[in-house]
Structure 1
């Protein structure tokens, strides 16, 4: 199946993920032994840019890393995944963003983000085109997100994570907002937004227009290895599916399938098939269910 995918520009965070995997997440003040430590590329922005590229889209990353070994590793990883890193700033004397993550045997996690260079870049010299689809998150400074929203005349998407109060100007500019169920509850203004996609984990996802539920899709059954990058893979897939012309229900189902593959992969930037394969998989499942 052949579908035409949009060019996607991601404005967001680039992090080194330092992950400790344990049987269970410790309680406050508790030490849990027997962990396994690993490091890998991450950051919500970078994860989404990589997902878009691996799904087959032309993907550009706008963000910043420090002039350090971690920054060089992140740039190599992004480029290796097919992401255009021309507009990723390398900040002299700055540290690359770092996420400290604890993951339990069920794939649930706790994360502390140290933003580093993610908090210190601007869009001053960046050029956007009217044809680009722009995807932002909230792991970078809100002024940068607002500037990104003001710049392009194309389709603008906000993954409103981590949850925070959103300026009216930003919310009005959003053609689509993507959140999980907790974030949806924490941001009451989303009930008035034009279009909001909400994920519910094992209960699938739904689309809301001005607070009215207009579409939904069930989740795919999967063995959980890691939930860190699943939401980011979902975001990349949903944006591509909608911009490729799929209706809300089909786009949600495709994004759910991509998210399921991501949950089954231990990496924050999981291996993914081209989006067309997920579209065909979802269409085949619908036929089989009739």
Structure 2
């Protein structure tokens, strides 16, 4: 069975809720504090696994309690964690997250994520697999893993977040690029590409290498373009509790759907629904829905 190989970050999320965000130099009283497993890579791996995909994760943690707990949590989701390295003398990555009125503000410390090596991913990937990466680990590691994936006959998916100019080096190795609208505009600017609409700017990026560009628009849905077609889906009206990890839910669900052999349009619809479900629960990885939840959600929407 083809696998989803996720090369990416894994963090312990330290989450505070408050009724508003503090201003510069201001101290306010928070409401709750909780810890959750997170990191864009780990979130996407959990999302894919909960949708029924066979998933392996490539990343790094520190030799500390956070690292031990995070790896154990991924293994409990059925994810192959054999390629997660433990880096001595370096802390596991962390994210400090403040959630207020359904929105979030995040400060990430890379820690062991900065030591991720693409060689382990290159050794895992095979024909028919899909390898998924983000930009919270070194670009050089992603480039080597994607090059090996291409040679092995696997498909490469890049979630170019957080956006950085070095993404230009990865686009020729990327089959499917997933970005939000801000990331789209940044990358288009770095490439000197333009367009008077989201779809036009996304289509301009195809010349840089990807065969498909998917732009998530939050509550407004998504736009996806290929050389032959545009796909536009509206968002689902839900009441958000915590938007942390919604984009990661979308990416992991997209990878799982494509890995199962589903068509792009159907997979985008499923990923769009999964992301809408994820924002209705607190935390990142813990909020990822399971396949049966997404099916029930879509069935309920079609019935209404």
Q: Same fold (TM over 0.5)?
A: yes
User: How many angstroms apart in 2 are the aligned matches of 1:99 and 1:34?
Assistant: 17
Paired residue for 1:119?
A: 114
The verdict on how the C-alpha distance between 1:254 and 1:203 changes in structure 2, with shifts beyond 3 A counting, is same
5+ residue gaps, structure 1? none
- Classify the secondary structure of the residue corresponding to 1:85: strand
Shift of 1:277: 6.0
Of 28, 37, 41, the residue aligned with 2:37 is 41
Paired residue for 1:79?
A: 75
Of 4, 7, 13, the residue aligned with 1:11 is 7
User: How many angstroms apart in 2 are the aligned matches of 1:262 and 1:147?
Assistant: 32
- Pair 1:161-2:161 in alignment: yes
- Pair 1:197-2:191 in alignment: no
Of 53, 58, 69, the residue aligned with 1:57 is 53
CA contact (8 A) 2:139 2:166 kept: no
Paired residue for 1:179?
A: 179
Paired residue for 2:16?
A: 20
Shift of 1:184: 1.0
CA contact (8 A) 2:118 2:142 kept: no
Shift of 1:173: 1.5
The verdict on how the C-alpha distance between 1:278 and 1:40 changes in structure 2, with shifts beyond 3 A counting, is closer
Shift of 1:161: 0.2
Spell out, residue by residue over 1:23-72, the C-alpha distance to the aligned partner (whole angstroms, 9 max, x if none). Answer: 01112222221332111110000000011111111011000000011100
The verdict on how the C-alpha distance between 1:246 and 1:125 changes in structure 2, with shifts beyond 3 A counting, is closer
Spell out, residue by residue over 1:79-114, the C-alpha distance to the aligned partner (whole angstroms, 9 max, x if none). Answer: 11111100000111221001111110x221111110
Shift of 1:285: 4.4
- Classify the secondary structure of the residue corresponding to 2:149: coil
Paired residue for 2:198?
A: none
Shift of 1:249: 3.0
Spell out, residue by residue over 1:217-243, the C-alpha distance to the aligned partner (whole angstroms, 9 max, x if none). Answer: 121121211111111111111122234
- Pair 1:230-2:254 in alignment: no
User: How many angstroms apart in 1 are the aligned matches of 2:178 and 2:244?
Assistant: 16
TM-score normalised to structure 1 length: 0.90
CA RMSD of aligned residues (A): 2.1
- Classify the secondary structure of the residue corresponding to 1:41: strand
| 1:214-253 to 2 correspondences below 5 Å | 214-253=230-269
The verdict on how the C-alpha distance between 1:279 and 1:40 changes in structure 2, with shifts beyond 3 A counting, is closer
Count of residues paired in the alignment: 281
The verdict on how the C-alpha distance between 1:263 and 1:280 changes in structure 2, with shifts beyond 3 A counting, is closer
5+ residue gaps, structure 2? 192-201
Paired residue for 2:272?
A: 256
CA contact (8 A) 1:205 1:219 kept: yes
Spell out, residue by residue over 1:100-145, the C-alpha distance to the aligned partner (whole angstroms, 9 max, x if none). Answer: 11110x2211111100000013133441212210000000111111
The verdict on how the C-alpha distance between 1:187 and 1:9 changes in structure 2, with shifts beyond 3 A counting, is same
The verdict on how the C-alpha distance between 1:284 and 1:249 changes in structure 2, with shifts beyond 3 A counting, is farther
TM-score normalised to structure 2 length: 0.86
Shift of 1:247: 3.5
